[in-house]
Amino acid sequence: MTETNIKITASPHVRSADSTIKIMWSVVYSLIPVIACSIYFFGPSAILVILAAVAGCLLTERLFGSTPGSISDGSAMITGLLLGLTLPPGFPLWMAFLGGFFGMAFGKIIFGGLGQNIFNPALVGRAFLQAAFPVAITTWPAKSANWWCLQGDNFALPFMSPTVDTATSATPLGNMKFGDDPVVTPLLDLFFGTTGGSLGETSALFILLGGLYLAYKGHLNWHIPLSIFVSTFVVSGLFYALGISPFHPLFMLFSGGMMLGAFYMATDMVTSPMTNKGCWLFGFGIGFLVVIIRIWGGLPEGVMYAILLMNALVPFINRATQPRLFGTSGKKKEAQ
C-alpha cells in the first residue's frame, strides 16, 4: 500500500479547469488576428511598434516584478500588446518602449503587481505617452504605397523630434472633429479597418471576433462591452437627434479605440468592478464619458480617458454594488 503518497488537502478537493494563467494567455491568443490585421494594414511598422511596447513591458516586469516568474503569467504580455495596438504606426520605437516601461512600472508594479493596480497599465502607458509626446502620438502617416515600407519615422533617436517628412493623414474621428469640411468615413470601412488610425484600433471585425471568443470562454465579462455600446449608442444618439453632435451613433461605435477599449481595456478583470451590476454601471459611465469627451473635449478620441476615469471609480462601484446577502432584504442592518 502506497501510504506515503497520500496527500492531505483542505476541501474542495477538485478545482475548475480555469486558471489565471490560462485566462491571460487566451487573451493574448485572441489578439493574434487583431495583430495580424494591423500588420496587413500597416506593414512592418506595426510589428516594430508592437514589439517595442512588448519589450518595454516584459523587461520592466522581469526587472521589477514581484516574483521572478511573473513574466510567464502573461499579464505583462497583454499590457505590451494592448499598448502597442493603441499607438500610431509611425510611432518612434523608443517612445513605445518607454510607454511600455512606464505603464508597467507606474501602472502596475508600483501598486504591488498583478491584481493590485487601480488603472489599466496599458492605458497608463498610453496616457503617459499622450502627455509626453502629444505630437508623435497624434501623427498618422498617410499609407505608403508599398506594404513593406516603414510608416513615418519609427527609428527616430531618443529625444530627437521625429522628422516627419511623409504626408500625414487623418483618422476618421479627426476628420469628423477637426476637418474643415467634416468627412464621414463609410461604416463598412470602419468595420473592416481600411481607415487611418492606431495599429489595432481600425478593424472592428477582428476585435469583435476576439472579444466574442473570450466572452464565450468566460474570460471576459460581456456585461462591460455591451453596456459601453448601449450607453454610447443611446447617449450619442440623443445628441445626434438633437442636432448637437455631428457623430452618428453607429460611427461612434465603430471608430477610434471604441472596440479595442470596450473588449480588451475596460474588461481588464483587475481594474473593472466585481459584480455584474457594477459592470453595468462601469460600462454606462465609460460610454457616457466617451461621448462627452468626443463631442466637447479637446481631443478627437476619449476612450482612454473614459476608461481611466471609470477605473478610478471602481472601488466605489464595488462598495455600492455589494451583493445582497441570501435571506436578507439587502438593506443595511438597522442599528444593532
Partner 1 sequence: MGLPSFKHGVHPPENKDITSGFASKRFPFPKEVILPLSQHIGTPAKALVHPGDHVERGDVIAQAEGFISSTVHATASGTVKSIELWPHPNGGMAPSIRIEVDPNSSQMRRQRIVPRWQDVKEEDLSKEIARAGIVGLGGAAFPSHVKLCPPKDQPVEVLIINGCECEPYLTSDHRVMLEMPDMVYEGIRIALKALGISRCIIGIEANKPDAIEMMRKTKPDDLDVTIQPLTVKYPQGAEKMLIKAVMDKEVPSGALPSAVGAMVQNVATAANVAAVFETGHPLIERIITITGKGIKKPGNWKIPFGTRLRDVIEHCGGLTEDASEIVFGGPMMGLGIADLDVPILKATGGILFLSKDECKRQDIMPCIRCGKCLEACPVFLNPQLMGQLAKAERYEELVDEAHLNDCMLCGSCSFVCPSNIPLSQYFAMSKTQLRRLPTS
Scan residues 141-170 and list those touching partner 1 (CB under 8 A): none
Ramachandran region, residue 159 (left: φ > 0; alpha: ψ -120 to 50; beta: rest): left
Q: What is the 3-state secondary structure (H, E, C) of 79-127?
A: HHHHHHHCCCCCCCHHHHHHHHHHHHHHHCHHHCCCCCCCCCHHHHHHH
Q: Which of 166, 168, 169, 275 binds partner 1 (CB under 8 A)?
A: 275
| 269 in contact with partner 1 (CB under 8 A) | yes
| 30 in contact with partner 1 (CB under 8 A) | no
| 276 in contact with partner 1 (CB under 8 A) | yes
Q: Which of 180, 325, 334, 335 binds partner 1 (CB under 8 A)?
A: 325
| 36 in contact with partner 1 (CB under 8 A) | no
| 68 in contact with partner 1 (CB under 8 A) | no
| 4 in contact with partner 1 (CB under 8 A) | no
Q: Which of 45, 56, 73, 190 binds partner 1 (CB under 8 A)?
A: 73
Cα separation values, 64 from 57, 78, 80, Å: 10, 17, 15
DSSP code per residue over 23-73: HHHHHHHHTHHHHHHHHHHHTHHHHHHHHHHHHHHHHHHHHH-SSGGGGGG
CB of 258 or CB of 279, closer to partner 1: 279
Q: Which of 63, 116, 184, 296 binds partner 1 (CB under 8 A)?
A: 116
| 113 in contact with partner 1 (CB under 8 A) | yes
Residues in the chain: 336
Please state the closest distance from residue 116 (CB atom) to partner 1, in A.
7
Q: Could you give the CA distance from residue 174 to residue 176 in angstroms, rounded to a whole number?
A: 5
CB of 2 or CB of 146, closer to partner 1: 2
Q: What b-and-e string marks burial along 207-246, b requiring 16 or more CB atoms within 10 Å of the CB?
A: bbebbebbbeeebbbbbbbebbbebbbebbbebbeeeebe
| 20 in contact with partner 1 (CB under 8 A) | yes
Cα separation values, 46 from 53, 60, 73, 233, 256, Å: 11, 21, 24, 30, 17
Cell triple for 87: 499607438
Please state the closest distance from residue 21 (CB atom) to partner 1, in A.
7
Please state the closest distance from residue 50 (CB atom) to partner 1, in A.
23
Scan residues 203-232 and list those touching partner 1 (CB under 8 A): 221
Q: Could you give the CA distance from residue 268 to residue 265 in angstroms, rounded to a whole number?
A: 6
Q: Which of 56, 273, 283, 287 binds partner 1 (CB under 8 A)?
A: 273
Contact by Cβ (8 Å): 107, 124: yes
Q: What backbone torsions phi and psi does residue 117 show, to the nearest 5 degrees? A: -80, 155
- Work out whether the CA dihedral 302, 300, 204, 49 comes out positive or negative: negative
Stretch that binds partner 1, among 130-138, 161-169, 272-280, 300-308 (CB under 8 A): 272-280
Stretch that binds partner 1, among 30-38, 95-103, 113-121, 201-209 (CB under 8 A): 113-121
Scan residues 293-322 and list those touching partner 1 (CB under 8 A): 322
| 13 in contact with partner 1 (CB under 8 A) | yes
Reported as type and span, the H/E element at residue 314 is helix 303-320
Please state the closest distance from residue 272 (CB atom) to partner 1, in A.
8
| 6 in contact with partner 1 (CB under 8 A) | yes
Total site size for partner 1, rule CB under 8 A: 41
Please state the closest distance from residue 11 (CB atom) to partner 1, in A.
5
Which residue ranges make up the site for partner 1 (CB under 8 A)?
A: 1-3, 5-16, 18-23, 73, 113-116, 221, 269-270, 272-276, 322-328
